[in-house]
Amino acid sequence: MLSGVDHDVPDGIGMARLAWTRLPTADGEGAGPSTSEAADDELLSGAAIESLDYEVIENYAYREEQAQRSKFWVPYYVMLKWLFALLIGVGTGLAAIFINLAVENFSGWKYTATFAIIKHSYFVGFFVYTVFNLALVFSSVYIVTNFAPAAAGSGIPEIKGYLNGVDTHGILLFRTLVGKIFGSIGSVGGGLALGKEGPLVHTGACIASLLGQGGSAKYHLSSRWVRIFESDRDRRDLVTCGCAAGVAAAFRAPVGGVLFALEEVTSWWRSHLMWRVFFTSAVVAVVVRSAMNWCNSGKCGHFGAGGFIIWDISGGQEDYSYQELFPMAIIGVIGGLLGALFNQLTLYITKWRRTCLHKKGKRVQIFEACLISLVTSTISFVLPLLRKCSPCPKLETNSGIECPHPPGTDGNFVNFYCSQDREYNDLATIFFNTQDDAIRNLFSAKTFHEYSAQSLITFLVMFYFLAVVTFGTAVPAGQFVPGIMIGSTYGRLVGMFVVKFYKKLNIEEGTYALLGAASFLGGSMRMTVSLCVIMVEITNNLKLLPLIMLVLLVSKAVGDFFNEGLYEEQARLRGIPLLDSRPKQVMRNMNARDACKNQKVVCLPRVSRVVDIISVLRTNKHNGFPVVDRGQNGESLVIGLILRSHLLVLLQAKVDFQNSAFPCGPGVLNRHNFSDFVKPASSKGKSIDDIHLTEDELGLYLDLAPFLNPSPYIVPEDMSLAKVYNLFRQLGLRHIFVVPRPSRVVGLITRKDLLLEEDNNNVMPELQSTSG
Ligand code: ATP
Ligand code: MG
């Protein structure tokens, strides 16, 4: 239903009914690499990375469509956004429950079987334990390498990149979501030194993106009814909700989720996005809580009261004295140092893996993950065997703690290789146990002093080593839980010394373990506010808030002295070109012209021959081209910017080709539907090699005017590069034109010109008078 072409418009651009977003794809998941190996190669080389189009392309189609929308469209659109926020919360909550349920049950079966067997033979027990772990890890690495290469790692650097404006191919696909969920179950259930929290953020983002694009066309799970949010800009908001939902579900920390999205992953934030993200997190909290209530009655096997991260340490240290601030600051320093070292070591190892090891193929990746699983199983089984058991402390009958206690269930004091029944093995309590229980034990705030310094140091060294080598293997992996385990170990060690030193004070080792955990995460990930809130929410202890703030500030400052945060380092390593919030200092002394010095701008004429367009696209890899036209006096005029992806759609559709070298006539624009030009999120677009034209078609012409962006952002050539950077970053742009100084000014817009009439009537009189 097009109104045709309007030749009276001043710049001579035709009227389009189209509002483009992204390129369509053959299979609905993008015409990316045909094999996952090819995709993997692309991911490794960084070639699969492309900027997103967050800018609204205000071509005539867009304006016309805006004008034709009924007055109910905006409320409908807003209502749908809230509905989607609800669905993202429910979806992510359910995914988290499923992952936890599976992991807890696998771990439960593993430990139950192993403990039943070691009563007869430790060797057979070790064999069963190792094979169980190996099978789970193998399933995880097999899924990732053969089915969903983009599901490897935590996914947070890629999502951070996505929200910064760059799309890594494959990160938001349906198969990535499936790979992430099942891969996490295998890697976490298989006892590797990694967590499921980072993958849950990625899972939330995938669910959000898939919902936003109306499902997955490739797997016939899509519906036109929900395909409303087709622009990258809308998807960006949904993905932000998904990230927050992931953290909220992982830690049962809804406010922490909102702040994590705000502080760590997003580059742009608006107040109404805050409300929606807050709503999504609240929904997650309700969904997770309902599942927990249901499972507490024992309907979910081994997944019960202790089966979801929440390390409630209330009942521990109530207050702190000023003398304790010094050792707490020391924990912050240790966290900063160990966190920065972790980032550096993982950076080196990941670099080596990407350039040498993983290039050798999938088999090497599978072998590597299996080998690490074997090493992890051996260390976690054999080291506790070498420890001497300690007698169980005298426990109050109402304390709720049993000694000894079987591992894999909620409780301290694991009896492992002990000669007496009433003994426990302190190293097995943390090493030969599920991660959640190990952390709960380390955080435990009763004054039993159940860990020896020797066990804690052994665990710290070995687990740190395992966490470093496990990071970067081809399995879904989060760094939150390993970080918490490492931090709480040295925190508890410091706590033991402080207890000895300040005998008179009421000090709990568990409090120091908690501060240690916060300090390591702060030293590695460099988050402050969000981590602080997450720690408070998961430990249910508001009184320790100032102390957590202190250690986080110290550890972040110390870590920043050495290197960048974990996610930034990993993003750079993966070739994701993140734009920081601030420009580099040197940019202040450069101007826009310096940034594009020696550049020969490749332009296209308004009406171009098809063969010329093909030749330009073949010889240049650029994603945008200025379009020029002749003015009335024959002078050259830049009339806009055309995207490579849009040119490819036009070339493939062929319907806009014309015989004449003059601007197109009316009716040319209704040959396309809006949905023809929509590409699902995170899919690789078409390439020029997909275009096949006959000799005759190559000789035809194409009028680009209806399809271009007529109002790209423009800066004068002598604007400082720092200013250009801020403009580019803050507006989420993909292209910006650098032009000579303009010769005249048509007008000047001020604050008052941007207010509507009714607003203007309310403007303060002083402003009225000053603004004329
Ligand atoms: P994107 O993710 O959009 O591809 P990019 O930075 O890789 O971002 P490209 O369009 O691939 O951008 O361009 C790569 C380089 O070529 C940039 O340095 C850019 O300044 C330059 N460039 C882009 N378009 C043109 C053009 N039409 N003519 C000349 N140089 C261009
Ligand atoms: Mg490029």
Nearest CA to ligand 1 atom 11: 622
Of the listed ranges 294-303, 425-434, 473-482, 749-758, the one predicted with least confidence: 294-303
Cβ atoms of 422 and 413 closer than 8 Å: no
pLDDT of residue 312: 59
Mutation pick for ligand 1 pocket among 622, 627, 687 (CB with most ligand atoms within 8 Å): 622
Which residue minimizes the CA distance to atom 22 of ligand 1? 622
DSSP letter (8 states) at residue 476: B
Q: Which fold would CATH assign to domain 328-573?
A: Clc chloride channel (1.10.3080)
Whether 318 shows a pLDDT value over 50: the answer reads: yes
Task: Give SS3 for 413.
Answer: coil
pLDDT, tens digit (0-9, with 9 covering 90-100), for 475-489: 999 999 999 999 999
Q: Which ligand is nearest to the CA of 623?
A: 1
Atom of ligand 1 nearest to the CA of 622: 10
Given a cut of 90, is residue 261 above it in pLDDT?
yes
CA of 735 to the centre of ligand 1 (A): 8
Confidence band for 161, pLDDT divided at 50, 70 and 90:
very high
Q: Where are the beta strands (DSSP E) in 217-281?
A: 221-222
For residue 49, give the ligand nearest its CA: 1
What average pLDDT score do residues 617-639 get? 90
- How far apart CA 569 and CA 564 sit, in angstroms, is 6
pLDDT of 340 higher than 80: yes
**Would you state the structure tokens that stand for residue 100, as one six-digit string?**
């936890």
Average pLDDT over residues 708-714: 92
For the 77-299 domain, the top CATH level (class) is: mainly alpha
DSSP SS3 for 368? helix
| Between 468 and 539, the higher pLDDT residue | 468
Predicted confidence band of residue 25 (pLDDT cuts 50, 70, 90): very low
Nearest CA to ligand 1 atom 16: 622
In terms of average pLDDT, the best of 216-230, 326-340, 537-551 is 326-340
Which residues in 518-554 are b (16+ Cβ under 10 Å) and which e? bbbbbbbbbbbebbbbbbbbbbebeebeebbbbbbbb
Across 131-156, average pLDDT: 95
Q: How many CB atoms lie within 10 A of CB 398?
A: 6
Domain assignments of the chain as residue spans, ordered by start: 77-299, 328-573
Q: How far is the CA of 49 from the centre of ligand 2 (A)?
A: 8
Contact in structure between 674 and 19 (CB atoms under 8 Å): yes
| Cβ pair 32, 221 in contact under 8 A | no
The answer to whether residue 11 scores a pLDDT higher than 80 is no
Residue nearest to atom 29 of ligand 1 (CA): 601
What is the pLDDT averaged over residues 318-341?
90
Report, as an integer, the average pLDDT of 681-687: 64
Q: ipTM of this model?
A: 0.98
More confident site: 226 or 564: 564
Phi, psi (5° rounding) for residue 423? Answer: -125, 160
* Percentage of the chain lying above the pLDDT 90 cut: 49
Determine the Cα–Cα distance for residues 265 and 352; give it in Å rounded to an integer.
26
Which residues lie with the beta carbon below 6 Å from any ligand 1 atom?
50-51, 596, 599, 601-602, 621-625, 734
**Which of 54, 623, 627, 729 maximizes ligand 1 atoms within 8 Å of its Cβ, making it the mutation to test the pocket?**
623
437-455: average pLDDT: 80
599 Cα–ligand 1 center, Å: 10
Q: What's residue 138's pLDDT? A: 97
**Which has more confidence, 228 or 172?**
172
Q: How far is the CA of 675 from the centre of ligand 2 (A)?
A: 25
Q: What value does the mean pLDDT take over residues 45-57? A: 76
Ligand 2 mean position to 678 CA, how many Å? 20
Residue 329 pLDDT > 90, yes or no?
A: yes
pLDDT computed for residue 34 by the predictor? 37
pLDDT at position 769: 52
Q: State the pLDDT at residue 663.
A: 80
Q: What's the CA-to-centroid distance between 620 and ligand 1, angstroms?
A: 9
- Of the ligands numbered here, which is closest to the C-alpha atom of 604? 1
> Are 77-299 and 328-573 the same fold in CATH?
yes
Label residue 109 exposed, middle or buried (CB < 10 Å: 0-12, 13-18, 19+): middle
Residue-wise DSSP of 194-222: -BSHHHHHHHHHHHHHHHHTTEETTTTEE
CA of residue 681 to ligand 1 center, whole Å = 21
Distance in angstroms (rounded) separating the CA atoms of residues 514 and 542: 12
Closest listed residue to residue 177, CA positions, set 527, 610, 680, 542: 680
In this prediction, residue 443 carries a pLDDT of 83
Residue for token digits 């974990």?
A: 566
For residue 751, give Cα distances in angstroms to 392, 428, 711, 723, 769. 73, 66, 21, 20, 13
pLDDT surpasses 50 at 564: yes
Distance separating the N- and C-terminal Cα atoms of the chain = 45
Residue 768 has a pLDDT of 55
731: part of which helix (H) or strand (E)? Answer: helix 721-731
Mean pLDDT, residues 462-477: 95
Give the residue among 133, 34, 128 at the shortest CA–CA distance from 475: 133
